[in-house]
Chains A and B, each alone.
Chain A
Amino acid sequence: MAASRSDLPLERDASARVLPWVIAVMVYLATLALAGSIATHGALARWSAGLAGKATVQIDPAPEQEMARRERLALEVLRTAPGVTDAQLMPRERLAELLEPWLGKGNVAPDLPVPELIDVSIDPAEVDLVELARRIEGVGPGVRLDDHTLWTRGLIVGGRSIQALALIAVVLIGFAAVAIVVFATRAGFAAHIDVIELLHLMGAQDDYIARQFERHFRWLSLKGGVLGLALAGATLVLLGHFARELEGPLLPHLRLGWGGWGLLGALPVAAVLVATATARFTVMRALRRLP
């Protein structure tokens, strides 16, 4: 069919050599930004689910009797406070477990002075955290209520900002890609205006000419998109590998999941669609200037 071949020698243009690389870089950056956004979204969901409705009372190490008294008093306060659904003293074995990552297994001496922790479940709708914190602190020096809100609020605000920035970056990269394809198409149109005019004079419809540009840019952006995605995928796998090696406290939360990978896989497809549509629109617009 006539549709499968090209009358315009577009494949010899500079765009054929340069554009796939430009698209590859853009898809690469967009993929990383989108991956960051998706991972942050997942991590935020897990953090808020894990932390909402939880609080901790910490009692600093003190002489044993004093310690027991403060414990009792703190539990008393918690039981009478509105909105507190549960308060459990954390057993010493659990504390030792929590310390293991820092001190090593079996290295926690039984007589090591460690703070006591009371795990508190709260109903966020009813509790007055300011009043509760004031009363807990009234129990004695070194007794504090940690309601995590400082942490969660900071994390959520920070996470949301990262997400927003990543999405803005993806959108901006999209705009840049459109601009580059517009320029490449115009350059191609100008370079082949003689042949285009000739086809036009032989009775070619605008669509006949636009299809040839579409096919050219579809192929170029497909090459670039696949290359960019492959590079970005390799980068993400490496990042994940290092994150697991480091066992950092935050990085393990950054997981993509199948949905995330699927979304990333859609990026080259989007790049191809955007490039093709942009090329077509640009050519059809330019052709309207011919009589």
Chain B
Amino acid sequence: MPRRESFPLKVLYGYVVALARKEPAEAASWVRARSGTWRHGRTPRRVPFSQPFWIGPVIRFQNVGMRYDLGPEVLRDITMSLPPGSFSYLTGPSGAGKSSLLKLLYLAHRPSRGLVTMFDQNVSTMARGDLPELRRRIGVVFQDFRLITSLSALDNVALPLRIAGTAEDEVRRHTVELLSWVGLADRLNARPATLSGGEKQRVAIARAVIARPKLLVADEPTGSVDADLGLRLMYLFEELNRIGTTIVIATHDERLIERFEHPVLRLKGGEFVDLPRERQ
């Protein structure tokens, strides 16, 4: 990994550590101080992380429809476009198609019709064998974390690197580093069952970001944790967004949406109710 890329991650680590100590304000200032240095770095080679290296939106849906097998369409005529570095909410009542849309976003499903473009590549017609490469650019925080119970915290976080075929000594180094930064240095070999809710969440987030995803998708991240943890999680997502990651959060928590203002994609009955303004 080039040296200059590791800085944003360290910013994130420090932030998470501060969060672990329950000092969100201090954490934010810590990050602000450092990302400032980084963004306006003295050496011209330091390309701002927020600028993407591909042209066009991260995600573009054009008249996308989706159904499970031969069932009814759960999504209809979805058209949207998420620019790089954007932060969006996805909301709507239960059964509106939030989870289905998320599945399209993290490539767990392909559309039944319409065109889905991710990272300038047409997902709808892409060969099945080419999808894994794309999936590695997407980090997912699942509602129930989905940690593998038989693996230690270290091995859980290492998964995306191992899948990508990273050399084992690098895997170990990065994983230990990230887990230490999120304050789990002494829990490296702990099984998920022995971790507290907050610790599990930190492991899940570490796993989602260890491979430096360009797109981070979170499904009801505040749904199964207490209000305090949920809040800290949101701060973290904002910081990740600030360093250039495109973020989509599915939630039905309206207070959350009011508190952290970002464009909202509102689903109802499988369709968008009021189309979000395009940010370009």
Asked if A106 lies at the interface with its beta carbon under 8 angstroms from chain B, I say: no
- Interface residues of B, count at CB 8 A: 29
Q: Determine if B108 and A198 form an interchain contact, defined as CB atoms under 8 angstroms apart.
A: no
Known contacts A194-B146, A198-B148, A291-B108; A204/B165 CB under 8 A: no
Measured CB to CB, the closest approach of chain A to B212, in angstroms, equals 13
Measured CB to CB, the closest approach of chain B to A112, in angstroms, equals 82
Q: Determine if A7 and B159 form an interchain contact, defined as CB atoms under 8 angstroms apart.
A: yes
Chain A residues with CB under 8 A of B149: 9
Measured CB to CB, the closest approach of chain A to B273, in angstroms, equals 28
- Cα distance A66–B160 in the bound complex, in angstroms: 101
- Cα distance A12–B171 in the bound complex, in angstroms: 26
Asked if B220 lies at the interface with its beta carbon under 8 angstroms from chain A, I say: no
Chain B 141-160 residues near chain A, CB threshold 8 A: 146, 148-151, 155, 159-160
Assign chain A's interface to a size class: 20 to 34
Q: Determine if B168 and A204 form an interchain contact, defined as CB atoms under 8 angstroms apart.
A: no
Known contacts A9-B150, A203-B136, A205-B132; A291/B107 CB under 8 A: yes
Asked if A2 lies at the interface with its beta carbon under 8 angstroms from chain B, I say: yes
- Cα distance A114–B134 in the bound complex, in angstroms: 94
Q: Which B-chain residue is minimally distant from A2 (CB atoms)?
A: B162
Q: Which B-chain residue is minimally distant from A197 (CB atoms)?
A: B108
Chain A residues with CB under 8 A of B151: 7
Measured CB to CB, the closest approach of chain A to B167, in angstroms, equals 8
Q: Determine if A202 and B135 form an interchain contact, defined as CB atoms under 8 angstroms apart.
A: yes
Chain A residues with CB under 8 A of B107: 201, 291
Chain A residues with CB under 8 A of B133: 203
Known contacts A7-B155, A291-B109; A202/B136 CB under 8 A: yes
Apart from A8-B150, A291-B108: 18 A-B pairs, beta carbons within 8 A: A2-B165, A2-B166, A5-B162, A7-B148, A7-B155, A7-B162, A194-B146, A198-B146, A199-B159, A201-B135, A202-B136, A202-B160, A203-B135, A204-B132, A288-B128, A291-B107, A291-B109, A291-B131
* A-B pairs with beta carbons under 8 Å apart, 24 shown: A1-B168, A2-B163, A7-B151, A9-B148, A9-B149, A194-B146, A195-B148, A197-B108, A198-B146, A201-B108, A201-B140, A202-B163, A203-B132, A203-B134, A203-B135, A203-B136, A204-B132, A205-B132, A208-B163, A288-B128, A291-B107, A291-B109, A291-B128, A291-B131
